[in-house]
């Protein structure tokens, strides 16, 4: 009996495992497919928005009626985004093909089930027609050898009737499911055709934009000497800007260290004054006690200094330092979540060393990222902090430095700065307007993030920048 129970439990466990192994992965695959499809749709929307933004910027660079580096940068960005869009559409088509294949398989299974149900139901109908009169049914029951057999035959007829009804219901349900599945397939095939059409349109756009790129590149390469001279000057300006920013940050770090040193000295002086005062008070108490007890001149008063209190004094730090530490932690925890320093914009120059888009072999370096936007775009803070520096940059325009604890964010190439040194700033607060190069029709700002004296790639900090 125990052995039989053990086998029964073992079979139950096996069936349970089969359920999890077969059904759960299937459910996860369906959920994953839906999430993937939604992600791809969101990505496609983001890329389309970026392309529209680049088109607006491109129309501004073209307004100066000459082929410029700014126009080439915008075209290059658009080509990159267009290729991303085509890749995303291809991924959507791939996901859709998987869904279509799965639905085709399910539709085929439903068709087979429907045919089987209809066949079984047809056989039951034929049998029922042959035995449909009430006399035959009564005779079938009364022909029983005993009461138990008669009861069993009566129950059989009732169950048979119920089974027929159940089969009819199953046929209707299966037909409904099949119709819904075929409709879904039709919609998916239509969606696939639309995506294929979109892909062809985007490929044509890509081809047209490549021709435009070649045209602008050819025109720029005709004046390569003049361009190189201009770029050398801009490169030197950029180096001077980096040095200016570095000097400002070094001065800011020095100022903070000096503040910390003075605060520590003030704390130590206050502690020393308290200790001297306590020692003086204790000395007075000892003298008074000696006067009261002249027989015990050798008695000594031991001053009990509690180590716990001393420990607290050593750990004393100014409130500003505690606030700074908290702000640093908040900033660090928001890596990859920081808002963009502009409402709408595109990264048009990446962090670190990279080749110039027009002249091969001409290397450029950036301590931050260049963000291109439309004319009149306002710059905003990426996080809460305090303005620690405002200066005129060597490349023109102004730069603003905001401290976020041990981190600093630097915004250069601004006009109409609306903040002041020492001012507390909140996230997304407007700090100025992004400057426009009237010669090229290009509107851009440079964003840098520093930790101490070390630069960091801002694209790793901004939300959805990669």
- pTM for the model stands at 0.60
Identify whether residues 400 and 263 lie together within a single domain. Answer: yes
Decide if 20 is inside a domain.
no
CA 390 to CA 244: how far, in whole Å?
11
In which element (H, E) is residue 400 found? strand 398-404
Identify whether residues 189 and 235 lie together within a single domain. Answer: no
Identify whether residues 182 and 282 lie together within a single domain. Answer: no
Taking the CA atoms of residue 442, residue 72, residue 393 and residue 227 in that order, the dihedral angle to the nearest 10 degrees is: -120
Q: List, for residues 366-390, the tens digit of each pLDDT value.
A: 899 999 999 999 999 999 999 998 9
pLDDT of residue 25: 46
CATH number for the domain including 247? 2.70.70.10
Decide if 127 is inside a domain.
yes
Decide if 425 is inside a domain.
yes
**Residue 320 CB-half CA count within 13 A:** 10
Find residue 414's DSSP bridge partners.
398, 434
Identify whether residues 78 and 208 lie together within a single domain. Answer: yes
Identify whether residues 75 and 152 lie together within a single domain. Answer: yes
Q: How many domains does the chain have?
A: 2
Q: List, for residues 326-366, the tens digit of each pLDDT value.
A: 778 889 999 999 999 999 889 988 998 888 766 677 788 88
CA 28 to CA 24: how far, in whole Å?
6
Identify whether residues 218 and 235 lie together within a single domain. Answer: no
Decide if 5 is inside a domain.
no
Q: List, for the chain, all residue ranges whose pLDDT scores fall below the cut of 50.
A: 1-29, 31, 134-135, 297-320
Give SS3 for 420.
coil
What are the tokens at 176? 């409904």
pLDDT of residue 130: 57
Q: What angle do CA 134, 138, 142 make, to 5 degrees?
A: 170
Identify whether residues 365 and 231 lie together within a single domain. Answer: yes
Identify whether residues 154 and 263 lie together within a single domain. Answer: no
Identify whether residues 95 and 197 lie together within a single domain. Answer: yes
Identify whether residues 197 and 279 lie together within a single domain. Answer: no
Decide if 187 is inside a domain.
yes
pLDDT of residue 424: 94
Identify whether residues 269 and 212 lie together within a single domain. Answer: no
User: Based on the number of CB atoms within 10 Å of its own CB, is 443 exposed (0-12), middle (13-18) or buried (19 or more)?
Assistant: buried
Q: How many CB atoms lie within 10 A of CB 270?
A: 12
CA 86 to CA 88: how far, in whole Å?
5
Identify whether residues 139 and 276 lie together within a single domain. Answer: no
Q: Last residue of some domain: 222, 254, 274?
A: 222
Decide if 94 is inside a domain.
yes
Decide if 348 is inside a domain.
yes
pLDDT of residue 16: 45
CATH number for the domain including 208? 1.10.287
pLDDT of residue 234: 75
Q: Last residue of some domain: 172, 207, 222?
A: 222
pLDDT of residue 191: 85
Which domain covers residue 55, as residue numbers? 32-222
Contact between 395 and 238 (Cβ < 8 Å): yes
Identify the CA nearest to 341 among candidates 451, 447, 466, 426: 447
Decide if 402 is inside a domain.
yes
Q: Last residue of some domain: 203, 222, 241?
A: 222
pLDDT of residue 322: 67
């Amino acid at each position: 009996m125990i052995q039989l129970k053990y086998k029964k439990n073992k079979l139950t466990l096996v069936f349970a495992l089969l359920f999890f192994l077969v059904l759960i992965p299937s459910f996860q695959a369906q959920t994953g497919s839906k999430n993937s499809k939604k992600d791809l749709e969101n990505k496609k929307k983001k890329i389309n928005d970026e392309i529209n933004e680049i088109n607006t910027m491109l129309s501004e660079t073209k307004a100066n009626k000459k082929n410029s580096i700014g126009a080439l940068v915008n075209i290059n960005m658009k080509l990159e985004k267009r290729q991303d869009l085509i890749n995303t559409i291809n991924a959507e088509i791939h996901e859709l093909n998987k869904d279509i294949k799965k639905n085709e398989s399910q539709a085929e299974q439903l068709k087979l089930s429907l045919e089987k149900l209809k066949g079984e139901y047809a056989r039951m109908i034929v049998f029922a027609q042959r035995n449909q009169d009430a006399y035959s049914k009564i005779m079938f029951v009364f022909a029983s050898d005993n009461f138990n057999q008669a009861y069993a035959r009566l129950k059989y007829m009732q169950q048979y009737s119920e089974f027929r009804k159940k089969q009819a219901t199953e046929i209707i349900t299966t037909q409904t499911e099949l119709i819904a599945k075929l409709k879904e397939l039709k919609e998916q095939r239509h969606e696939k055709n639309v995506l294929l059409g979109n892909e062809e349109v985007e490929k044509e756009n890509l081809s047209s934009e490549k021709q435009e790129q070649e045209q602008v590149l050819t025109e720029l390469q005709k004046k390569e000497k003049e361009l190189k001279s201009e770029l050398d000057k801009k490169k030197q300006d950029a180096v001077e800007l980096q040095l200016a920013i570095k000097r400002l940050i070094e001065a800011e770090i020095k100022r903070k260290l000096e503040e910390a040193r003075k605060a520590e000295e003030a704390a130590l002086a206050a502690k020393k004054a308290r200790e001297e005062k306590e020692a003086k008070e204790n000395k007075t108490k000892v003298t008074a006690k000696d006067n009261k007890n002249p027989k015990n001149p050798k008695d000594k008063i031991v001053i009990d200094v509690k180590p716990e209190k001393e420990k607290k004094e050593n750990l004393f730090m100014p409130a500003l330092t505690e606030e700074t530490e908290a702000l640093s932690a908040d900033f660090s925890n928001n890596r990859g979540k920081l808002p963009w320093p502009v409402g709408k914009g595109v990264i048009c120059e990446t962090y670190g060393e990279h080749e110039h888009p027009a002249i091969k072999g001409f290397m450029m370096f950036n301590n931050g990222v260049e963000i291109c936007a439309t004319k009149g775009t306002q710059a905003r803070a990426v996080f809460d902090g305090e303005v620690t520096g405002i200066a005129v940059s060597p490349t023109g325009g102004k730069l603003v430095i905001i401290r976020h604890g041990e981190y600093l964010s630097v915004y250069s190439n601004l006009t109409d700065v609306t903040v002041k040194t020492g001012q507390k700033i909140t996230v997304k607060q407007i700090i100025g307007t992004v400057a426009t190069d009237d010669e090229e029709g290009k509107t851009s700002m440079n964003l840098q993030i520093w930790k101490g004296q070390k630069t960091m790639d801002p694209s790793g900090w901004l939300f959805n920048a990669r």
